[in-house]
């Protein structure tokens, strides 16, 4: 990675403020870009943009290629005449009863999807399917992922959300006649899903251009594994370790670490890396190509899994009893580079990391991550303390998997708090910004903090708690925070002082 000294903020688009119960790619996203530019920030880090499965986790998506249609700005549908003001006003009124600082996933999502379906029906009546831009989108993406995703999603709705492994044998095994029959039977539903994907990527392209004109770039996220109940697994059975019915002998996760004493049993299917190698890693190359078309820099989540991954027997209830198994190592990155050229990756190298993982990262020329929350075990030269950071690093106070910095600090023992206060020469009431300043002053090429830390928010604003299934991915920023110029001006002053300031020009 060759990135100029710079900084940015983490905020997933679902966490943007505004009416409608969930953030969108519309006006509030542009206002956030403006705040980033005004504060001299170059990077907007997001979580995966893919459509989440149960629980709302973007790391357990129904497709590694598709976009999350709930992020669509309905205002665009109003301007196109596909929805009326009465439609959107009713929806906003219904969402007003939900907490404005929470995305109430199970309530908001079906209501908004119903409006997207209505917009698609009106678009269809206006001969929208004959639009050259829509047809071009379907032709560009159809064979690689869109056709399978649209059919998968339509079938999943037709089965009341049941996992594809519970469908009929013909559909589970993708019998050609059964698939063709389903395409005919569900033609309208499939077209609606294609319409939503087209609109998502049109709006994302527009937002990305708006950001680029203001010197703001996107740092995206590429999870190594995909969800079992996804179009990716259903349509590409041969590249996963599954039997004919989709049953695994083992699943993915990580052993016990500082996130969880029983580890994390993610339950994702494991790749058949030999089968992928025999196909020259085609599926992975297509996946990386898709994400690189969407963002400017890619965080490879669970990078260590490419060197070795934790294999958990499928009948184990936790991740404690597993084993390390060799991953593809350099071969997959060499294949990606051979096809796509230099890819702007950074490595999420947290957790149980060996020297072999560091060597793989360094051979591939990737920056690793530093997380300040993990630095205070009493070691005066802990590699996550700011004075130890190399230039080739991306440093965080915490990530989406951590508590907010205020929440984290409040839960420390008095001895641990003393270590933090002493290191930063800071009193309790200034500790969050003292940690941000320490990060910004470090040698790390990039520094990133969650938006929650700018406003010193407590644990109620935490985005995700690993190993806990409920209550995650819901936090939303308020409109007052988005328009609080004093905080963004404070960040700008710090950013300019330490030489991380973006000049606001298209990079």
Residues identified as active-site: 301, 348, 401
Express the helix, strand and coil content of the chain in percent, nearest 5 each. 50, 15, 40
Using alpha carbons, list the distances in angstroms from residue 501 to 8, 345, 482, 494.
10, 22, 20, 9
For 505, the 3-state DSSP assignment is coil
Strand, helix or coil at 9? Answer: strand
Cα 380 to chain centroid, rounded: 33
* Ramachandran category for residue 326: left, alpha or beta (phi over 0 → left; psi -120 to 50 → alpha): beta
Q: Is 126 in contact with 81 (CB distance < 8 Å)?
A: yes
Q: What number of helices (H) and strands (E) belong to the chain? A: 20, 12
Query: Are 304 and 224 within 8 A, CB to CB?
Result: no
Q: What is the rounded CA–CA span in Å between residue 496 and residue 507?
A: 18
Enter the DSSP assignment of 52: B
Q: How many CA atoms lie within 13 A of 392 on its CB side?
A: 13
Residue 75 burial (CB < 10 Å; 0-12/13-18/19+)? Answer: middle
- Strand runs (DSSP E) across 434-494, as ranges? 446-450
- 220 strand-pairing partners: 298
E strands, 352-501, are 368-371, 393-396, 446-450
What does the chain come to in residues?
507
User: Hey, which bits of 293-409 come out as E strands?
Assistant: 297-301, 308-313, 323-326, 345-347, 368-371, 393-396
Nearest to 14 by CA among 35, 29, 33: 29
CA distance 141 to 147: 8
* Cα–Cα distance for residue pair 60/253, rounded to 1 Å: 13
DSSP string, 218-261: EEEEEESS--SSSHHHHH-GGGBS--TTS--SEEEEE-S-SS-T
């Amino acid at each position: 990675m060759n990135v100029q000294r710079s900084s940015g903020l983490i905020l997933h688009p679902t966490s943007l403020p505004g009416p409608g119960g969930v953030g969108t790619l519309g006006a509030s996203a542009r206002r956030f870009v403006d705040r980033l530019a005004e504060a001299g920030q170059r990077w907007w880090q997001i979580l995966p943009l893919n459509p989440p499965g149960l629980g709302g986790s973007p790391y357990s998506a129904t497709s590694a290629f598709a976009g999350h249609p709930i992020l669509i700005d309905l205002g665009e549908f109003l301007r196109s005449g596909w929805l009326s003001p009465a439609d959107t006003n009713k929806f906003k009124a219904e969402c007003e009863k939900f907490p404005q600082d929470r995305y109430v996933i199970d309530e908001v999502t079906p209501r908004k999807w119903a409006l997207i379906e209505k917009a698609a029906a009106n678009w269809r009546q206006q001969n929208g399917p004959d639009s050259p831009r829509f047809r071009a989108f379907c032709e560009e993406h159809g064979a690689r992922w869109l056709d399978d995703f649209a059919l998968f999603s339509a079938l999943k709705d037709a089965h009341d959300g049941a996992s594809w492994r519970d469908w009929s044998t013909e559909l589970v095994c993708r019998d050609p006649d059964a698939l063709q029959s389903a395409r005919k039977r569900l033609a309208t539903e499939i077209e609606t899903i294609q319409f939503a994907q087209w609109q998502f990527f049109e709006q994302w392209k527009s937002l990305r251009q708006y950001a680029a004109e203001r010197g703001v770039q996107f740092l995206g996220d590429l999870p190594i594994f995909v969800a079992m109940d996804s179009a990716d697994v259903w349509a590409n059975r041969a590249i996963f370790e599954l039997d004919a019915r989709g049953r695994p002998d083992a699943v993915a996760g990580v052993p016990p670490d500082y996130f969880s004493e029983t580890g994390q049993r993610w339950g994702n299917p494991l790749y058949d890396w030999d089968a992928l190698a025999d196909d020259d890693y085609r599926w992975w190359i297509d996946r990386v190509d898709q994400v690189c078309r969407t963002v400017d820099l890619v965080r490879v989540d669970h990078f260590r899994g490419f060197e070795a991954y934790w294999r958990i027997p499928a009948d184990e209830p936790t991740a404690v009893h597993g084993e390390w198994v060799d991953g593809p190592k350099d071969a997959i990155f060499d294949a990606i580079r051979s096809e796509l050229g230099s890819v702007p990756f950074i490595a999420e190298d947290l957790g149980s990391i060996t020297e072999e993982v560091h060597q793989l990262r360094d051979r591939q020329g990737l920056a690793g991550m530093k997380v300040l929350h993990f630095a205070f075990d009493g070691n005066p030269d802990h590699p996550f303390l700011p004075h130890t950071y190399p230039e080739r690093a991306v440093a965080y106070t915490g990530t989406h998997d951590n508590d907010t910095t205020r929440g984290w600090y409040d839960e420390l023992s008095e001895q641990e708090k003393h270590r933090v206060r002493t290191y930063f020469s800071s009193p309790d009431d200034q500790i969050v910004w003292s940690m941000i300043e320490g990060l910004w002053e470090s040698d790390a090429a990039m520094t990133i903090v969650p938006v929650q830390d700018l406003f010193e928010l407590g644990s109620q604003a935490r985005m995700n708690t690993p190993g806990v299934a409920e209550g995650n991915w819901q936090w939303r920023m308020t409109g007052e925070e988005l328009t609080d110029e004093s905080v963004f001006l404070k960040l700008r002053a710090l950013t300019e002082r330490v030489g991380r300031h973006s000049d606001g020009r298209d990079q």
